[in-house]
Amino acid sequence: MSVVRLLSLVLVLGLAGCGLIRPIGGEGVSAQNLPYRASLKRGEDRRDLTVRVRAPGATVGQVRESVRFQATRYCLSTFGGSDAYWAIDPATGDWAFVRAGEDMVFTARCTAR
């Protein structure tokens, strides 16, 4: 019986310590650490989305992570997967966007099933 108690104690203490250990790979990315503030709006079809970022004079490369973060968070929480298909500009081969004043507006579609 003492072996069962000892094993139970080890398991309980091990489980209690799980919250004390840092997650593998760090704490992840926070929206607060991104260089630009972006906002997401879903389309009529819930898989379609637009991400708007205020970034006067910025390039796609400069705003990419701020835009991607919003889409990843939405697709993951809504559909269980983080993949999104971004509209591509045929001239550059990079993400397509339109300028709306000082904002850049990107469109994408969540691809998780």
Cα(81)–Cα(19) distance, integer angstroms = 25
Cα(106)–Cα(84) distance, integer angstroms = 12
Q: What are the tens digits of pLDDT across the range 56-100?
A: 989 999 999 999 999 999 999 999 999 999 999 999 999 999 999
Q: What are the tens digits of pLDDT across the range 9-24?
A: 555 555 555 554 444 4
- Res. 113 pLDDT band, cuts 50 70 90: confident
Q: Given this model, what pLDDT does residue 25 score?
A: 47
Residue 4 has pLDDT above 50, yes or no: yes
Full 3-state SS string of 17-63: HHHHCCCCCCCCCCHHHCCCCEEEEECCCCCEEEEEEECCCCCHHHH
